[in-house]
Structure 1
Amino acid sequence: MNKPLLIESRITEDVVFGRNVKVVQPVNIYGCEIGSDCFIGPFTEIQKTVRIGNRTKIQSHTFVCELVTIGDDCFIGHGVMFINDVFQSGGPARGDKTKWKSTTIGNMVSIGSNATILPVTICDNVVIGAGAVVTRDISMPGVYAGNPAKKIK
């Protein structure tokens, strides 16, 4: 009988934490920077090169992939998924990072549960509704919802 390779969730030594960060395990956090007074919920993965600003809260079951920057005073709801591979050649990049794109989230941004954020830039003071799919840059403050996300307020 074949046995799988078991890999435990962990926080690696190359993570830079600010002051007073709370992390609820299990999590996978590696090669990133997390600002002061942040909260990271359980079952969350934050990959290398990610930068998270001060006083940002990331709820459970969230995936923050490489090339994502999140500003200060943000709220990231349960089950939010950030995407860096848009399948530009018709399929997955298969580790070819030259095909990946970056995402920048401004300050005071709230993203509702189960939203999907493709490689975009979102300005300050934006609310993204639960379940929204953000496919384009957002340059004006407001409330956005739907698939694709559109300004509703």
Structure 2
Amino acid sequence: MARTPHPGELAAPDPVRLLAIRDTPLSVDEVLAAVGDDAAGGTAFFVGTVRDHDGGEDVARLAYSAHPSAEAELRRVAEKVAADFPVRAMAAVHRVGELAVGDLAVVVAVACPHRAEAFEACRRLIDDLKREVPIWKQQRFTDGRDEWVGA
């Protein structure tokens, strides 16, 4: 639980610097800029891209959809990670809409005082995002079939 500052003491800044679900291309540079922090000795990133195959099938495109509560759920997940690790700064952006092979689907980053905790917190952030935030993927295969993942 966060400590309440004493009178005259500044509250610690919110380590959650950037959270978004967007229908426009994602930027690794934007996420890197968001998590810059002079007190962080380690910054860990995860960049998820659309690959050209899944389960032995050739993938042509993906489409991501999100529930209207997805951004609020993303904030809840991020705040839980920030509470469990010494996070100085974190960011997470996920794309929705039509994506082509090679497009960025998700970018997350966590800055902590040390690299080990940055790696752990980043891993937890992407894993919890994928498990708990209501975002669904529709894979479209080159043979014309499609399937929903996570729905």
Whether TM exceeds 0.5 here: the answer is no
Structure having the larger proportion of residues in helix: 2
Class of the TM-score when normalised by the shorter of the 2 chains: under 0.3
Q: Which has the higher contact order (CA 8 A, sep 6+)?
A: 2
Structure-1-length-normalised TM-score: 0.23
Structure having the larger proportion of residues in strand: 2
Structure-2-length-normalised TM-score: 0.23
Larger radius of gyration: 2
